[in-house]
């Protein structure tokens, strides 16, 4: 049967429309799948969110990370205190009395290490035991040098092998201590304080008055401090008297007969002798001073030959 031209035209137009509808439905499904994948990635976290949609809704490619994720490993703790505790217990123990408190402690720290066997009364017990050096080796191995000081002034050094676990929180002595020579005395560089400060000058007087207040409580410390500097005196006051023995400066200005212009800064090292009921004690301090209104004021205080802890 022959169709009319109008009917043929209608059916031929319906075919493309139906095909277009099918393709549109497929595209909608792809979009829904892509959206589902995206929402899943967001829920899974930042790593999954790094997945990128490429070349169409259904093609998924993992995006490379710009930088590798940094993983911090545990920092190994220094076993110096552990080795010190072992050596102290080991030196105070005896194989003839393995049930003593010191022997049990030594064996708990180093089960595979034999106890010493001293002759009764022949070997004095150490007065003090101190760890003086730690050296880390490979695979969690340490070598700790420990000094044992005796009442007669002798000092004996022991090196102790110590193993640490991966976390650096557990230790074990892996072998008997070995007696070694003590560390050599290090060479000391020449002091920066090479200018002598006159004992009767303004600077020496200011320093003496400051330490009188700082160490003996004689007067207020604040009156000797530069503006903005805060420093509390030692409390309770440990000494009854303080005498300045020597003052050396790092700048030539410390030797001037008169206080220089306002704002002049100098650093000095002060040797003082402090006294109390128990005796005399030589002490040393580094001080920064600053001139203001014809006087020297303390701008910073450090003990000994350096280090923190002073006022700034």
- E strand residue ranges, 141-209: 141-149, 155-164, 171-173, 178-180, 195-196
**Rounded distance, CA 145 to CA 278, Å?**
34
pLDDT-derived band of residue 207, with 50, 70 and 90 as boundaries? very high
Q: Taking Cα atoms as reference points, which of 239, 241, 249 lies closest to residue 199?
A: 249
Q: Show the tokens assigned to 241.
A: 């008297």
Is residue 248 within 8 Å of 275, Cβ to Cβ?
no
Q: Show the tokens assigned to 295.
A: 């006087």
Q: Show the tokens assigned to 135.
A: 């050296």
Question: What mean pLDDT is predicted for residues 201-223?
Answer: 95
Query: Helices (DSSP H) in the chain: which residue ranges?
Result: 5-44, 46-49, 80-91, 101-109, 202-216
Beta bridge partners of 269: 248, 286
pLDDT in tens, 266-282: 999 999 999 999 999 99
pLDDT in tens, 68-111: 444 344 445 889 999 999 999 999 999 999 999 999 999 999 99
């Amino acid at each position: 049967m022959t169709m009319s031209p109008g009917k043929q035209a209608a059916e031929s137009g319906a075919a493309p429309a139906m095909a277009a509808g099918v393709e549109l439905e497929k595209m909608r499904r792809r979009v829904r799948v892509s959206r589902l994948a995206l929402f899943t990635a967001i829920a899974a976290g930042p790593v999954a969110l790094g997945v990128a949609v490429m070349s169409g809704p259904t093609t998924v490619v993992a995006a490379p990370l710009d930088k590798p994720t940094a993983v911090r490993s545990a920092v190994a703790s220094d076993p110096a205190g552990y080795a010190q505790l072992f050596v102290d217990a080991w030196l105070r123990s005896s194989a003839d009395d393995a049930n003593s408190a010191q022997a049990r402690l030594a064996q708990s720290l180093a089960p595979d290490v034999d106890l010493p066997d001293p002759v009764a009364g022949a070997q004095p017990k150490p007065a003090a035991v101190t760890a003086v050096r730690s050296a880390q080796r490979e695979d969690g191995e340490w070598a700790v040098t420990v000094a044992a000081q005796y009442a007669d002034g002798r000092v004996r050094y022991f090196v102790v092998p110590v193993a640490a676990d991966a976390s650096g929180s557990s230790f074990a002595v892996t072998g008997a201590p070995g007696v070694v020579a003590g560390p050599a005395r290090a060479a000391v560089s020449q002091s920066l304080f090479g200018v002598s400060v006159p004992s009767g000058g303004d600077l020496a007087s200011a320093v003496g008055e400051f330490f009188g207040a700082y160490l003996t409580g004689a007067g207020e410390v604040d009156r000797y401090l530069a503006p903005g500097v805060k420093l509390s005196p030692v409390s309770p006051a440990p000494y009854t008297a303080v005498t300045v023995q020597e003052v050396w400066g790092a700048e030539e200005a410390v030797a001037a007969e008169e206080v220089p212009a306002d704002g002049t800064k100098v650093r000095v090292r002060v040797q003082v002798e402090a006294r109390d009921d128990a005796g005399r004690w030589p002490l040393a301090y580094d001080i920064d001073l600053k001139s203001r209104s014809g006087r020297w004021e303390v701008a910073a205080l450090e003990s000994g030959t350096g280090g923190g802890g002073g006022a700034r």
